[in-house]
Amino acid sequence: MNTAPLRGEEIVAETNETLKFVMVGHVDHGKSTLVGRLLHETGFIPDTKVEHVKKVCDDQGKGFEFAFLLDGLEEERDQGITIDVAQMFFRTKKRNYVVIDAPGHKEFLKNMISGASNADVAFLLIDAEEGIQEQTKRHAYLLSLLGIRQIAVVMNKMDLVGYSEEVFNRTRDAYLEYLSTIGVKPYTFIPISAYHGDNVVKKSDKMPWYAGGSLLETLDAFESKDDRSKLPLRLPVQDVYKFDKRRIIAGRVEAGSVKVGDELVFLPSGKTTKVKSIEKWNAATPELVIAGESTGLTMEEQIFVERGDIACKKNEQQALVADRFTANIFWMGNKHLQKGGKYILKLATMDIECVIDSIPRVINSSTLEEISKNAAEVAKNEVAEIILTTKKPIAFDTFDLVPETGRFVIVHEHDVRGGGIIHKLVEHYSAI
């Protein structure tokens, strides 16, 4: 085991910026080992925790398992598998990081999605010896559906293939071909050995043929999430408060910005009024609120608005209003999604009953093979194109314009069972 070249306490980040990245890929390709190695070498694993893991490994009669630094559950360590996503913290000289370690087993795909949906950047891991496997493909496709564009591919276990450039090139070319079919353009491919620490924090001398940076250097080169405040305003109403004389419309600005005096349109009703004040407790009243802020506004006129409405600006591009749209969904439920079935749709702060009108196409999310046309149902881990109708017209966007109001989840029997992104509104009902 290498000793840490840097210790966490010696690192002062230049900014307080935080970037979240997720590690995805097939089971046993070494995601948790890599994350454990990264946290250990950057000096962010407490000594007490290292001691604790040493003891557990000794009890099991194993050498030091970096993965155990993350896989804290007894079942995970006994089986050597990550069951649920873990989030850990560290920093470099550049900034702060949250690393999300997602499970690679097909059975825990919903946990992988829970982790990956929060990430700014994703690293797709491939075992150099085993090559591209089922989840290597599926995870890449799901990342594209989740809207994660900043992706790097990491080829792990290079030590097991003799640090071979040829193996690296062959797998890289095969994977690039697959990725191009789903429109994913990886930033780079990095050959590493998480177990030995090659190219993780520091460049390794074992692969002189590799000209790129270490994994950590690559990470520092990514950008943090793009600024949503330049988009048109989308302020979904979360609640209306009347704790005192003020009637405050509360919600989080999902896109754009808003200031006092702006004329707002609340969709789907189309009611308009002007912003009278921006409310804040125990702080100066801001002139402007931007994307990401949970705010509260009072209005010039006391119009009736309710949770689920989306406030837009009168002089900007407004959200769409309709009761029918097409979407791409991924399904995580044990029970199949049924054509004609009734579900709860949650989009921004709106919860509404919906019916699945039709399922024009179902595909295998790993092979991308078309399973069926005009299907009757969608099974777990499949991806489909669907058309659905909501009980009443709602406000939304297409995912490519405003992601936050262009995506939704489907709830069935109390739990989120699927997620989707909206392609387009459907004007008239017709048999597809």
Partner 1 sequence: MTDSQKFDHLDKLENQSIFILREAYKKFKKLAMLWSIGKDSNVLLWLARKAFYGYCPIPLVHIDTSYKIPEMIEFRDRYAKEWNLNLIVGQNKQALADGMNFTQGRITCCTALKTTGLQQIMEQYDYKGLILGIRRDEESTRAKERYFSPRDKNFEWDFKDQPPELWDQFKTNFDENTHIRIHPLLHWTEVNVWEYIQREQIPVVSLYFSKNGKRYRSLGCAPCTATIDSQASSIPEIITELKATKTSERAGRAQDQEDTYAMQRLRAKGYM
Closer to partner 1 by CB, 88 or 426: give it: 88
Q: Is 427 a residue that touches partner 1 (CB under 8 A)? A: no
Tell me the window of 31-39, 87-95, 133-141, 383-391 that interacts with partner 1 (CB under 8 A): 87-95
CB-based burial, 325-358: b 16+ in 10 Å, e otherwise: bbbbbbbbbeebbebeeebbbbbbbbebebbbbb
Kindly state the smallest distance separating residue 393's Cβ from partner 1, in Å. 20
Site for partner 1 in 141-170 (CB under 8 A): 146
Kindly state the smallest distance separating residue 311's Cβ from partner 1, in Å. 16
Residue 164, CB half-sphere, CA atoms under 13 Å: how many?
11
Kindly state the smallest distance separating residue 84's Cβ from partner 1, in Å. 4
Site for partner 1 in 118-137 (CB under 8 A): 118
Kindly state the smallest distance separating residue 86's Cβ from partner 1, in Å. 4
Q: Is 7 a residue that touches partner 1 (CB under 8 A)? A: yes
Q: Is 424 a residue that touches partner 1 (CB under 8 A)? A: no
Ordered DSSP codes for 38-58: HHHHTT-S-HHHHHHHHHHHH
Residue of 6, 57, 98, 352 that binds partner 1 (CB under 8 A): 98
Site for partner 1 in 277-306 (CB under 8 A): 279-282, 290, 292-294, 296
Kindly state the smallest distance separating residue 95's Cβ from partner 1, in Å. 9
Contact letters (x/-) for partner 1, 175-194, by CB under 8 A? Answer: --------------------
Question: Residue 330 in contact with residue 390, Cβ under 8 Å?
Answer: no
Q: In whole angstroms, give the CA distance from residue 317 to residue 93.
A: 40
Task: Measure Cα distances from 69 to 52, 121, 212, 312, 346 in Å.
Answer: 9, 22, 28, 46, 36
Closer to partner 1 by CB, 201 or 347: give it: 347
Cis peptide before 236 (omega within 30 of 0): no
Fill in the amino acid letter for 298: T
Backbone angle region of 28, left / alpha / beta, with phi > 0 → left and psi within -120 to 50 → alpha:
left
Site for partner 1 in 399-418 (CB under 8 A): 404, 407-409, 411, 414-417
Q: In whole angstroms, give the CA distance from residue 117 to residue 114.
A: 6
Count the helices and strands in the chain (H runs, E runs): 7, 23
Q: Is 110 a residue that touches partner 1 (CB under 8 A)? A: yes
Closer to partner 1 by CB, 173 or 351: give it: 351
Question: Residue 201 in contact with residue 2, Cβ under 8 Å?
Answer: no
Q: Is 89 a residue that touches partner 1 (CB under 8 A)? A: yes
Ordered DSSP codes for 366-392: TT--EEEEEESEE-TTEEEEEEEEEEE
3-class SS of residue 304: coil
Closer to partner 1 by CB, 111 or 365: give it: 111
Q: Which helix (H) or strand (E) holds 299?
A: strand 294-299
Q: Is 138 a residue that touches partner 1 (CB under 8 A)? A: no
Q: Is 70 a residue that touches partner 1 (CB under 8 A)? A: yes
Site for partner 1 in 40-69 (CB under 8 A): 43, 46-49, 52, 55-56, 59
Closer to partner 1 by CB, 125 or 409: give it: 409
Residue of 238, 338, 372, 389 that binds partner 1 (CB under 8 A): 238
Total binding residues toward partner 1, as defined by CB under 8 A? 71
Residue of 132, 176, 322, 344 that binds partner 1 (CB under 8 A): 344
Residue of 346, 352, 355, 423 that binds partner 1 (CB under 8 A): 346
Q: In whole angstroms, give the CA distance from residue 186 to residue 178.
A: 11
Kindly state the smallest distance separating residue 206's Cβ from partner 1, in Å. 29
Q: Is 229 a residue that touches partner 1 (CB under 8 A)? A: yes
Closer to partner 1 by CB, 62 or 246: give it: 246
Tell me the window of 108-116, 208-216, 358-366, 389-397 that interacts with partner 1 (CB under 8 A): 108-116
Polymer length of the chain: 432
Q: In whole angstroms, give the CA distance from residue 232 to residue 317.
A: 6
Kindly state the smallest distance separating residue 111's Cβ from partner 1, in Å. 7
> Nearest CA to 360 among 431, 273, 271?
431
